[in-house]
Structure 1
Amino acid sequence: MSADFSIRLNRDRNLLDVRLGGFFTLDDVARYRSAITAASRELGGDPGQQIMLCDISDMRIQSQDVVEAFRQNMADPLYARRRVALVVTATLARTQAQRAVGRREARMFTSRVDAEAWLFSEVKAAA
């Protein structure tokens, strides 16, 4: 399965809703980086105040160079988000995702419902 991704914006929640699937090459990671940069700019405001829901449950196990490319993206201050929730399934994919996320404020979930509950709990608490 080749790489596939989609990015939807939810302006009301300041949310980047991302889905990644398949097997990525370094060129695919570069395409994704360009697309997420454009989406973040379109959402507007400070990227550090945006939140991200990233469903990677359809991703295949990635090569080490691709995991490293995603890690470098996540380490870039331009990609800092207030909160990142990852929806994962496979144990190995979870391990690769943890390496890619690095030290960012991110949590992993096995369901989208649980991921959304955590992402939006901060908003409810502030209300």
Structure 2
Amino acid sequence: MYTVVPDPIHPLVRIHLSGFFDSAEVAVFWREEQDVARDAFARHGLYDLLIETPGGGPQGQEVLDAFRRIVTESPVKARRIAIVSGSTLLRMQIRRVFVSDTFQVFATTAEAEAWLTSLVADAAATVA
């Protein structure tokens, strides 16, 4: 149903979601995500989150609300979140629920990675 994998070198946590969730599964997922996020934050400071849902379809409103709470109320928060979904309907649903400058939805992983990479490059250029 999901994997949560920290990048060993870059300040990035990759999440792969598949299938349909219920509120109980979202809670279990959230605990694991926060454990991995704490480790990523301890290693890198601020980190980014890349969530891939390649085969995912629309989720129920209760599940979307649970995911929104995770993003907004988690003690350890990602600096930026990129979500990848092959489903146009799910991308529309996500955009409706998550509105933020630090949050983007993409059709491909390459687009999401390019967005995250360009923001890191822009930040580095500003510091230099």
Q: Greater strand share, 1 or 2?
A: 1
Match of 2:118 in 1: 121
How do residues 27-106 of structure 1 correspond to structure 2 at under 5 angstroms? 27-45=24-42, 49-103=46-100, 105-106=102-103
CA contact (8 A) 1:22 1:58 kept: yes
Partner SS for 1:87: strand
Output the aligned Cα RMSD: 2.1
Q: TM-score, normalised by structure 2?
A: 0.85
Q: TM-score, normalised by structure 1?
A: 0.85
- Deviation above 6 Å: which 4+ runs of structure 1? none
Change (3 A) 1:99 1:31: farther
Letter in 2 for 1:88: S
Q: How many residues end up aligned between the 2 structures?
A: 124
Correspondence for 1:11 among 2, 5, 8: 8
Any unmatched runs of 5+ in structure 2? Answer: none
Residue 69 of structure 1: how far off its partner (Å):
0.8
Partner SS for 2:42: coil
Letter in 1 for 2:42: G
Any unmatched runs of 5+ in structure 1? Answer: none
CA contact (8 A) 1:40 1:47 kept: no
Letter in 2 for 1:18: I
